[in-house]
Chains A and B, each alone.
Chain A
Amino acid sequence: QKEVEQDPGPLSVPEGAIVSLNCTYSNSAFQYFMWYRQYSRKGPELLMYTYSSGNKEDGRFTAQVDKSSKYISLFIRDSQPSDSATYLCAMTQYSSASKIIFGSGTRLSIRP
């Protein structure tokens, strides 16, 4: 079983739709969860960081963590064409100085 599993997509939705991106993981040692956005041939850019089960909201983005199910989600409300990118879920065991384990990324396209 892979440590982190993420549907690679591609996922195409119309502008204004709600997008749901998901990952599952197998290692219960993971305690800190992140979502990165990556544009083509660029480095990953941190979007959201959570460390407890529940929801965390930042503008149009909501990150959800369910540690009991080992399942994390990212919701994007009122999606915009500029949100088109690859979204990487990521997780670490420790809060600092810890290697990040990434999912394979979901390629998202928002149609105008």
Chain B
Amino acid sequence: EPEVTQTPSHQVTQMGQEVILRCVPISNHLYFYWYRQILGQKVEFLVSFYNNEISEKSEIFDDQFSVERPDGSNFTLKIRSTKLEDSAMYFCASSELTSGLQDTQYFGPGTRLTVL
């Protein structure tokens, strides 16, 4: 069964460093998302991306964050200057954008980001 993959599974970085989290969405999917989950808290929406541009972003997704689809398969989240509070699990998701009633978002296994 097709699945969303994410690399790395765990990233440790120093505060102020840039990190890039990578995702390979399901191949025929057209809509891509990033969510994050701070330890012990709820999963929160960060951004959605369609047709090479951001469709929607949350207030969390400030100028420190950016997303890109550099080629036909990868979808990346870049944090320019990491802060301690960026430590979280980051989940990538993708959906097919069907015209029917159900457009399921499939989630990857996540990248655990630890900022020291």
Contacts and interface: CB of A to CB of B under 8 A. Distances in A.
Interface string A33-60: 0001000011111100101000000000
Interface stretch (B14-22, B70-78, B80-88, B97-105): B97-105
Interface in A61-97: 88, 95-97
B95 A97 contact: yes
Contact of A95 (B41, B44, B101): B101
B107 to A, nearest CB: 4
Interface residues of B, number: 33
State which size class the interface on A falls in. 20 to 34
B26 to A, nearest CB: 13
Contacts of B44: 102
A100 B105 contact: yes
Interface in B17-70: 31, 33, 35, 41-45, 48, 50, 55-56, 58
B31 A97 contact: yes
Interface string A95-106: 111111111110
Interface of B: 4, 31, 33, 35, 41-45, 48, 50, 55-56, 58, 89, 91, 93, 95, 97-110, 112
